[in-house]
C-alpha cells in the first residue's frame, strides 16, 4: 500500500522498481496499491545468495518454451 513506507523501503532495498499504482478498496475505503517489478538486472545486482532451479525441464512446455 502506498502508505506503508516500511514495506516500500524493503522492496526498494531488494532492487524492486516502482511499476505503477492501482486503486483498491481497503475495508470499504478507497486507497492505492503501489506496484513493483524486479527485472533480471536488478535481481542480479541485489541478490546475496546463489540461486539454482531444480526440475525446470518438465515445466518448460507449460511455459511455451
pLDDT digits (tens, 9 = 90+) for 1-59: 888 899 999 999 999 999 999 999 988 989 999 999 999 999 989 888 898 999 999 99
> What pLDDT does 47 receive?
86
- Gap between the Cα atoms of 34 and 28, Å rounded: 18
> What pLDDT does 12 receive?
92
> What pLDDT does 46 receive?
87
> What pLDDT does 1 receive?
82
> What pLDDT does 34 receive?
94
- Which contacts (CB < 8 Å, 24+ apart) does range 15-21 have? 15/42, 15/43, 15/45, 15/46, 16/42, 17/42
> What pLDDT does 6 receive?
95
Amino acid at each position: 500500500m502506498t502508505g506503508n513506507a516500511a514495506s516500500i523501503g524493503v522492496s526498494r532495498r531488494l532492487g524492486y522498481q516502482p511499476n505503477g499504482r492501482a486503486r483498491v478498496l481497503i475495508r470499504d475505503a478507497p486507497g492505492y496499491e503501489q506496484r513493483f517489478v524486479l527485472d533480471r538486472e536488478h535481481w542480479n545486482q541485489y541478490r546475496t545468495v546463489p540461486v539454482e532451479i531444480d526440475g525446470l525441464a518438465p515445466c518448460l512446455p507449460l511455459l511455451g518454451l
